[in-house]
């Protein structure tokens, strides 16, 4: 009994500032808004104009529901009550609201990426109007062995793409948080797979670029370590002197913009570390590559006269060392890839629609289309082979054993016929039902998705890996078999999932086709600082 009384006894808080005195509060039940309101009442001010500080930290509401004990206040804690102007109080309240909104949005981004990766990496049929698949820069579908690796890479890619969109909007703090999520996702993947691709080195580079754009010198030590990892990763995936990358790119210097940014940032880190010689060396190397990326007006005008848009013409010239014929070949090749991907997406769309008719396996997976094609090529009826795979959870050998056993084959056929008769009876019952009025019409009609197929494909083998999205029509008649198999209804954040999906632009060269204008300005700025400090002169490029 004595212990209970001690636990509920009032604690004393020593308040100073706008009002000075001792308050008795219940730490387990009082919240920060209650404390702020009490101090404001005693000081004659408004709660919105009272800022409370304890232990050198501003106490923030965080929703206003946490008890003071959870905020770190104890018996005899000293709290400074600072009175602010009404405008400053409103600004503080708005800042807290913005921070809460930012935290909520970041949590939604992470949860949505996890949900998308879980569905699309696990063999489940998509429940939205697109399908995510991993592919290399050539547009070829790739698989990473285990489902967990597939999921980790897919989640990392989606989060990284979202971070890059935030960087373009100059929301660098938000981008850093999302990049941290992406880095965590990639870390869950087999390290041998990560070493094959350059997505993670690019992520490290993007992280340091955010540090630089925020002018956060406190991150200097982390920046140096990240840049070292980035360069090591590029050397591993691109090869020495980028020989492997150039081979995959048919000799094109597509990586130049990445190295402009890398060497600029290496130069900046060396500058602030006091290593002026290394800084000058890195900045001069960055300037040389920057100069190589400047597109001549004559070459640009010639390509635009052929009907190409300015953006794609500039990209083609930068990717091909300003060589006009190579740039034209590049543009034709990109158009051919786009047409091929469109046809592949149509084929995949048809496969998904077919898979939906077959229902789900016992482990909530769609019937594997490759295994189905293999069994059908042996002469088995397609619907029969699909059912054999479905009941055996896509185990091809077990499905084959079932199909080649006359007794089991007959039983399976009878089961399918029984399902078919039941379905026909339901359809007949629906046909006999009274016709609904327009006001009570249902939403069971097939709805065509208006968006064009979206794909992402970063670099190819030993380079970046991307996710592809295939759009398809969705309608209740295709989904019926999936629902009848007991597919659980998901509580989805459709809005955020759509944001992440739209971020996958289908641009295979997005990571390499950087607008390096800001890099050029920074190179000139730091070379000038070096020249004024040491008298070093910029070398000719």
Give the 3-state secondary structure of 491-511.
CCCHHHHHHHHHHCCCCCCCC
pLDDT at 1: 46
Provide mean pLDDT across the span 328-340: 88
Provide mean pLDDT across the span 245-260: 76
Quote the percentage of the chain above a pLDDT of 70.
75
Average predicted confidence (pLDDT) for the chain: 78
pLDDT band at 487 (very low <50, low <70, confident <90, very high): very low
Highest mean pLDDT among 212-216, 281-285, 399-403: 281-285
Beta pairing, strands 77-83 & 11-17: parallel
pLDDT band at 87 (very low <50, low <70, confident <90, very high): low
pLDDT band at 163 (very low <50, low <70, confident <90, very high): very high
The DSSP code sequence of 252-281 is --TTHHHHHHHHHHHHHHHHHTT-HHHHHH
Looking at per-residue pLDDT, the higher value among 172 and 10 belongs to 172
Vertex 160, ends 200 and 178: CA angle to 5°? Answer: 110
CB atoms within 10 A of CB 26: 14
Could you read off the pLDDT of 21-44 as tens digits, one per residue? 899 999 888 988 899 899 988 888
Rounded CA separation 285/110 (Å): 38
pLDDT at 450: 27
Minimum mean pLDDT among 86-90, 215-219, 420-424: which range? 86-90
CB atoms within 10 A of CB 27: 20
Provide mean pLDDT across the span 220-231: 91
pLDDT at 433: 66
Q: Is the pLDDT score of 304 beyond 50? A: yes
Structure tokens at 139: 């547009």
User: Which residues fall within 8 angstroms of residue 26, CB to CB, at 6 or more apart?
Assistant: 8, 10, 11
pLDDT at 182: 93
Q: Is the pLDDT score of 116 beyond 70? A: yes
Provide mean pLDDT across the span 277-291: 95
Cα–Cα distances (Å) from 498 to 113, 175, 492, in that order, read: 10, 18, 11
Sort 94 into a burial class: Cβ within 10 Å, 0-12 / 13-18 / 19+: exposed
Q: Is the pLDDT score of 423 beyond 80? A: no
DSSP element (H, E) containing 309: none
Cα 279 to chain centroid, rounded: 33
Vertex 150, ends 458 and 161: CA angle to 5°? Answer: 40
Sort 495 into a burial class: Cβ within 10 Å, 0-12 / 13-18 / 19+: exposed
Looking at per-residue pLDDT, the higher value among 208 and 5 belongs to 208
The DSSP code sequence of 142-208 is ---SSHHHHHHHHHHHHHHHHHHHHHHTT-HHHHHHHHHHHHHHHHTS-HHHHTT-SHHHHHHHHHH
Q: Is the pLDDT score of 125 beyond 70? A: no
Cα-Cα-Cα-Cα dihedral of 141, 143, 147, 151, to 10°?
-60
Quote the percentage of the chain above a pLDDT of 90.
27
Q: Is the pLDDT score of 454 beyond 50? A: no
**By C-alpha distance, which of 499, 473, 488 is closest to 131?**
473
User: Which residues fall within 8 angstroms of residue 528, CB to CB, at 6 or more apart?
Assistant: none
In degrees rounded to 5, what are phi and psi of residue 35? -65, -45
Provide mean pLDDT across the span 317-325: 90
- Judged by DSSP in three states, 472 sits in coil
User: Which residues fall within 8 angstroms of residue 156, CB to CB, at 6 or more apart?
Assistant: 182, 183, 185, 186, 189, 199, 200, 203
pLDDT at 309: 93
Looking at per-residue pLDDT, the higher value among 165 and 538 belongs to 165
Please measure the distance between the N-terminal and C-terminal CA atoms of the chain and give it in whole angstroms.
Answer: 83
Q: Is the pLDDT score of 8 beyond 90? A: no
Q: Is the pLDDT score of 328 beyond 90? A: yes
If you count DSSP H runs as helices and E runs as strands, how many of each does the chain have, helices first?
A: 21, 7
């Amino acid at each position: 009994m004595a212990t209970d009384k001690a636990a509920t006894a009032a604690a004393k808080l020593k308040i100073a500032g706008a009002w000075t005195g001792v308050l008795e509060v219940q730490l387990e039940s009082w919240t920060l808004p209650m404390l702020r309101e009490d101090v404001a009442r005693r000081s004659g001010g408004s709660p919105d104009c009272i800022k409370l500080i304890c232990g050198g930290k501003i106490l923030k509401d965080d929703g206003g529901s946490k008890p003071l004990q959870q905020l770190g206040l104890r018996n005899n804690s000293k709290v400074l009550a600072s009175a602010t102007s009404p405008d400053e109080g409103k600004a503080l309240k708005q800042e807290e609201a913005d921070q809460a909104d930012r935290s909520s949005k970041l949590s939604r981004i992470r949860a949505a990426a996890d949900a998308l990766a879980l569905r699309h990496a696990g063999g489940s049929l998509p429940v939205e109007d697109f399908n995510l698949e991993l592919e290399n820069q050539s547009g070829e579908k790739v698989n990473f062995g285990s489902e967990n690796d597939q999921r980790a890479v897919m989640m990392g890619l989606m989060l990284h793409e979202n971070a890059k969109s935030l960087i373009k909007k100059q929301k660098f703090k938000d981008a850093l948080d999302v990049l941290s999520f992406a880095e965590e996702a990639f870390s869950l993947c087999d390290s041998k797979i990560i070493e094959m691709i350059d997505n993670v080195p690019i992520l490290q580079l993007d992280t340091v670029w955010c540090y630089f754009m925020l002018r956060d010198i406190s991150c200097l030590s982390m920046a140096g370590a990240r840049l070292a990892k980035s360069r090591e990763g590029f050397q591993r995936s691109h090869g020495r002197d980028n020989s492997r990358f150039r081979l995959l790119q048919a000799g094109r210097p597509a990586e130049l913009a990445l190295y402009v940014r890398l060497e600029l940032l290496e130069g900046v880190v060396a500058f602030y570390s006091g290593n002026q010689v290394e800084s000058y060396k890195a900045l001069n190397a960055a300037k040389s590559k920057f100069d190589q990326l400047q597109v001549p007006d004559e070459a640009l005008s010639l390509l635009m006269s052929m009907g190409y848009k300015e953006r794609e013409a500039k990209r083609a010239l930068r990717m091909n060392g300003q060589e006009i014929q190579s740039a034209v070949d590049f543009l034709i090749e990109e158009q051919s890839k786009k047409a091929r991907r469109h046809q592949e997406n149509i084929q995949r769309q048809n496969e998904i629609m077919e898979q939906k008719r077959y229902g789900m396996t016992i482990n909530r997976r769609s019937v594997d289309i490759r295994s189905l094609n293999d069994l059908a090529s042996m002469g088995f009826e397609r619907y029969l082979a699909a059912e054999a795979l479905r009941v055996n959870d896509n185990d091809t050998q077990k499905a084959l054993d079932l199909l080649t056993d006359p007794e089991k084959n007959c039983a399976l056929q009878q089961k399918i016929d029984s399902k078919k008769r039941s379905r026909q009876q339901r359809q007949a019952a629906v046909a006999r039902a009274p016709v609904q009025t327009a006001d009570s019409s249902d939403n069971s009609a097939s709805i065509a998705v208006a968006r064009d197929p979206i794909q992402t494909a970063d670099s190819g083998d030993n380079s970046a890996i991307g996710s592809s999205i295939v759009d398809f029509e969705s309608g209740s008649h295709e989904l019926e078999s999936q629902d009848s198999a007991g597919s659980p209804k998901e509580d989805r954040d459709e809005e955020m999932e759509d944001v992440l999906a739209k971020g996958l632009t289908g641009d295979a060269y997005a990571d390499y086709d950087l607008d390096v204008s800001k890099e050029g300005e920074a190179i000139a700025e730091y070379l000038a600082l070096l020249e004024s400090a040491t008298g070093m002169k910029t070398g000719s490029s």
